[in-house]
Every structure is written in C-alpha cells, then in structure tokens.
C-alpha cells in the first residue's frame, strides 16, 4: 500500500531531524516522486553508512534513497 502524504511528511521530518546537522556531508532531505531521498554533497560511502546508522532506529517501512546533489545553499 502506498503511504499517505501525511506519512511521507512525518518520515521526512524524522529523517531530517536524524541527519541534518548531525551527519556531515548531507545536503538535505526531500520527497521526490521516487521516494524519501537524502541528498549528499558528494558520493561518499562513509556518509551513506552514517545516514543508514542514523535512520536505523527510526524503523522506516522503506529504505531511504540517495542522490548526489552537491552542497545546498540557502537563498
């Protein structure tokens, strides 16, 4: 069953709290059509592993996806 937009927003909030500012190398967290995605500054296996460790306690029903997007800048 496809999760509701409310569920997706809650998962994004929880993942954001776990990784943004906590895992160096993470640019952001988003909800593109392909699912909950963690955006990385560069393709780094150590950062991916750190994200996986950070979100494991959240027991999400689906794995997070990764996308290399570079460093996000505030506008």
pLDDT at residue 52, as a whole number: 96
Give every residue of the chain whose pLDDT is below 50, as ranges: none
Name the CATH topology of 5-68: 3.30.1340
Region for residue 59 given its phi and psi (left: phi exceeds 0; alpha: psi -120 to 50; beta: otherwise): left
State the pLDDT at residue 72.
Answer: 77
User: Given this model, what pLDDT does residue 42 score?
Assistant: 95
Q: What is the structure's pLDDT at 28?
A: 93
Q: Give the model's pLDDT for residue 73.
A: 72
Kind and range of the H or E run holding 33: none
């Amino acid at each position: 069953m496809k999760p509701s937009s409310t569920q997706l927003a809650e998962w994004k909030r929880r993942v954001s709290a776990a990784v943004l500012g906590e895992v160096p190398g993470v640019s952001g967290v988003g909800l593109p059509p392909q699912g909950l995605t963690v955006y990385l500054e560069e393709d780094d296996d150590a950062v991916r592993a750190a994200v996986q460790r950070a979100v494991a306690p959240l027991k999400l029903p689906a794995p997070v996806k990764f996308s290399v997007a570079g460093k996000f800048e505030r506008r």
